[in-house]
């Protein structure tokens, strides 16, 4: 082997693709039901977009982005998270339209690139399904985004997903909680990890979600941001909880959920599933009211979610949710003489044109080898063409499950199979 896939990446092999398609189809279908429209943005953006939107002092921007210069000397970055590109496209193409009251609801399924330490369920290219609701400050919209996510997990058989909920405040009340966290941490600072020592200065809220064991112990009794919310943030958080109660969505308030991005305000949430170890988050999101203005638009409140599809699939495996084996379908055209070969090729084309999956053995091996192959490839039927069949204008249709065979006029084969499939 001369080449291997780059470290931290993975191939999605044909045997795994049906699970991906199933998850993606479930997400698309739910977005349709909830009135979110799909958007597809480029895989790279101007670096400045992520720096401005995600925040210079976040881990993502400080050390996880795939950034390089193109031949024109422009700094470009592979999609480092899902929301900033959607907001950029929303502003650039004026998706808001003429109605300032319009709630613009968008979703995407796209790869995300982070230079992260590879570990179970963490890849340098991973895939995210996300939804964004732009243009409302109502906590009921936060609840809708959460409800959509929970419906997605339920469709995938993940009944054990826990919703962790927090509020990270707003520019009015956050300086106070940041200061309180710094005051609390100061006496312990030299015991904390290098990341936390940096966060202490640049991003104190993130001290709360360090995964380092010692840091977690230290932060356990830290002051809660929830006690320092301004009236507006506190009311928003109350209303969100009331709405979740109304919708029968269970949650746990966890003041340590802060998310790794600077743009979050008020609501922050995470979904955790059992069986993923320390990296048990399968998605999360929150409100990002200042982001659209930061990106050059008018003040526009918004809320969104991003779900890690690799993590979701691992959670399905841990939960024992296994997709049923794909049912047998399609027809394998078996030719058993030189003269039957061109007729077989014509029949193959007719079947495919009629919407019936079909295959043939281009090596023209023995009938036994062809039938064995058709069986191994999971075909439902074999359509056998030999000398007798050619003379009588028939085809012998073999049921690959029961082994039963019958003779059918060639002209009736497609109508017959269409009715069966």
Provide the 3-class DSSP secondary structure of residue 310. helix
Beta bridge partners of 122: 119
Q: Which of 196, 313, 374, 413 binds Zn ion (CB under 5 A)?
A: 196
The DSSP-derived string for 321-388 is --PPPPPP-SEEEEE-STTHHHHHHHHHHHHHHTT--EEE-TT---HHHHHHHHHHTT-SEEEEE-HH
> Is 233 one of the binding residues for Zn ion (CB under 5 A)?
yes
Give the x-and-dash track for 14-53 against Zn ion (CB under 5 A).
----------------------------------------
Q: What is the Cα 395 distance to its own chain's centre?
A: 46
> Is 169 one of the binding residues for Zn ion (CB under 5 A)?
yes
Q: How far is the CB of 194 from Zn ion (least distance, A)?
A: 8
Q: Which of 30, 146, 215, 307 binds Zn ion (CB under 5 A)?
A: 215
> Which two structure tokens, joined as six digits, stand for 289?
């009211």
Give the x-and-dash track for 243-282 against Zn ion (CB under 5 A).
----------------------------------------
Cβ atoms within 10 A of the Cβ of 297, count?
A: 17
Q: Which of 112, 150, 173, 383 binds Zn ion (CB under 5 A)?
A: 173
Helix spans in 206-270 (H): 213-219, 231-246
Q: How far is the CB of 236 from Zn ion (least distance, A)?
A: 8
> Is 208 one of the binding residues for Zn ion (CB under 5 A)?
no
Q: How far is the CB of 283 from Zn ion (least distance, A)?
A: 23
Q: Which is nearer to Zn ion, 87 or 233 (CB)?
A: 233
Q: In what order do the strands lie in the sheet with 331-335?
A: 358-360, 331-335, 381-385, 394-399, 405-409
- C-beta of residue 85 within 8 angstroms of C-beta of residue 79: yes
> Is 240 one of the binding residues for Zn ion (CB under 5 A)?
no
Q: How far is the CB of 307 from Zn ion (least distance, A)?
A: 26
Q: How far is the CB of 233 from Zn ion (least distance, A)?
A: 3
Cβ atoms within 10 A of the Cβ of 198, count?
A: 16
Q: Could you tell me which stretch among 51-59, 211-219, 310-318, 335-343 binds Zn ion (CB under 5 A)?
A: 211-219
Q: Which is nearer to Zn ion, 208 or 315 (CB)?
A: 208
Q: Could you tell me which stretch among 135-143, 164-172, 255-263, 329-337 binds Zn ion (CB under 5 A)?
A: 164-172
Beta bridge partners of 270: 164, 284
Q: Which of 76, 80, 87, 170 binds Zn ion (CB under 5 A)?
A: 170
> Is 112 one of the binding residues for Zn ion (CB under 5 A)?
no
Residue listed under structure tokens 């990106």: 295
β-pairing, 265-272 vs 162-167, is antiparallel
Q: Please give the helix or strand (H or E) that residue 408 lies within, else none.
A: strand 405-409
Q: Which is nearer to Zn ion, 80 or 170 (CB)?
A: 170
Q: How far is the CB of 229 from Zn ion (least distance, A)?
A: 5
Q: What are phi and psi of 411, to 5 degrees?
A: -65, -20
Q: How far is the CB of 270 from Zn ion (least distance, A)?
A: 18
Q: Could you tell me which stretch among 230-238, 249-257, 360-368, 382-390 binds Zn ion (CB under 5 A)?
A: 230-238
Q: Which is nearer to Zn ion, 30 or 60 (CB)?
A: 60
Q: Which is nearer to Zn ion, 88 or 259 (CB)?
A: 259
In sequence order, the 6+-apart residues with CB closer than 8 A to the CB of 192 are 185, 200, 207, 210, 212, 214, 215, 218
| Interface ranges with Zn ion (CB under 5 A) | 169-170, 172-173, 193, 196, 210, 212, 215, 230, 233
């Amino acid at each position: 082997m001369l080449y291997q896939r780059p470290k931290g990446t993975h191939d999605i092999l044909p045997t795994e693709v049906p699970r991906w398609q199933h998850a993606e189809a479930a997400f698309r279908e739910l977005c349709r039901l909830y009135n979110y429209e799909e958007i597809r943005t480029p895989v790279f953006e101007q670096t400045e977009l992520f720096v401005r939107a995600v925040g210079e002092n976040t881990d993502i921007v400080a050390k996880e982005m795939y950034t390089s210069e193109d031949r024109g000397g422009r700094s470009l970055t592979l999609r480092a998270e899902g929301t900033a590109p959607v907001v950029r496209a929303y502003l650039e193409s004026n998706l808001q339209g003429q109605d300032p009251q319009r709630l613009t609801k968008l979703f995407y399924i796209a790869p995300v690139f982070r230079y992260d330490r590879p570990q179970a369920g963490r890849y340098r290219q991973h895939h995210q399904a996300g939804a964004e609701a732009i243009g409302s400050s109502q906590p009921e919209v936060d609840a809708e985004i959460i409800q959509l996510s929970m419906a997605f997990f339920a469709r995938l058989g993940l009944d054990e997903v826990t919703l962790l909920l927090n509020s990270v405040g707003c520019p009015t009340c956050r300086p106070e909680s940041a200061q309180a966290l710094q005051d609390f941490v100061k006496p312990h600072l030299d015991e904390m990890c290098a990341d936390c020592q940096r966060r202490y200065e640049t991003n104190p809220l993130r001290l709360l979600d360090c995964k380092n064991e010692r840091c977690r112990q230290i932060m356990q009794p830290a002051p809660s941001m929830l006690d320092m919310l301004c009236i507006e943030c506190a009311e928003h958080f109350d209303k969100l909880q009331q709405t979740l109660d109304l919708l029968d969505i269970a949650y746990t308030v966890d003041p340590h959920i802060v998310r790794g991005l600077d743009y979050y305000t008020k609501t922050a949430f995470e979904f955790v599933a059992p069986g993923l170890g320390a990296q048990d988050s399968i998605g999360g999101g929150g409100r990002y009211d200042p982001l659209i203005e930061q990106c050059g638009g008018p003040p526009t409140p918004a809320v969104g979610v991003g779900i890690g599809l690799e993590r979701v699939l691992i959670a399905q495996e841990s939960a024992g949710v296994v997709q049923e084996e794909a049912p047998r379908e399609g027809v394998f055209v078996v030719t058993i003489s030189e003269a039957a070969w061109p007729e077989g090729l014509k029949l193959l084309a007719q079947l495919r044109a009629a919407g019936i999956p079909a295959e043939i053995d281009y090596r023209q091996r023995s009938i036994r080898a062809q039938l064995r192959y058709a069986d191994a490839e999971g075909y439902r039927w074999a359509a056998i063409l030999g000398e007798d069949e050619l003379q009588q204008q028939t085809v012998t249709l073999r049921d690959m499950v029961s082994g039963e065979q019958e003779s059918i006029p060639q002209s009736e084969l497609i109508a017959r199979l269409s009715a069966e499939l």
